[in-house]
Structure 1
Amino acid sequence: MTHNPDFLIVYGTLRPPFDNTFSQYLRQRGRCVGDGSFAGQVFDMGSYPGAIYQENCPTRVCGTVFDISNQKAAILTYLDYYEGVGDQFEKPTEYIRSVVPVHFNDIVENCWVYLYNLPIDDKPLIESGDYAQHISVPFKWSA
């Protein structure tokens, strides 16, 4: 298992079509390589999603995969701040950065992902596994 992969999968507000400062930063510095998914579930936290990885789960979390190898340290440091990950944040943090196997472009590759790190007992499950679809903002590349 690659413990420091060159890929990142995003499934929420960092994913196109969202256009916040942090998603713009990722798109400017990373290279989108396509849609991907990993085993697990995604939940509606209100104005953003939270996903959990479950190795043998029959459901998938859908996202967009970026090659971040060109500026990996800078990208991850910046996004850690956005996701509230790191020693400077009160524990337990809402998210953790982890490595999971992701299926994209007909391969399985380890990718960084921000996973939800708090109880999900009262959170609504997004059955499609796709947050953008769930909030009716379909993903479309601009021409």
Structure 2
Amino acid sequence: MWWIYALLSAVFAALTAIFAKVGIKGVDSDLATALRTVVILVLAWGIVFFKGSARHLTELTKTNWAFLILSGCATGLSWIFYFKALQIGRVSWVAPVDKLSVAIAIVLAVVFLGEPLTLKTALGAGFIILGTLVLIA
């Protein structure tokens, strides 16, 4: 089931690039990112309240809070740089470079989370890097 969510994530990420490229034409990329963030904020909290998940807020630990805040900061910076890159670059170049995050995440997961680096995973990350280089060269 996880792969269905991952595939949907990839589809919506692709749509994000296309919609954003059109939407940021003639607009400051930081303003566009802020507007997008408000939409996401409303959508995410709407889902939380609709599902009744808000009642679990009190169950979050200090560690949960700290790392979710760090994750939010990383996401925000990622979006700011992504929108700026989309504004001045081609989607067919920006999107593949952005997807290098997959290979970077694999390395970080091995180093910081102790996840195993199998030959298959290493080859996959290598192919992502190689594919990115082919697409942007």
Q: Which has the higher helix share?
A: 2
- Which category of TM-score, normalised to the shorter sequence, fits these structures? under 0.3
TM-score (norm 1): 0.26
Larger Rg: 2
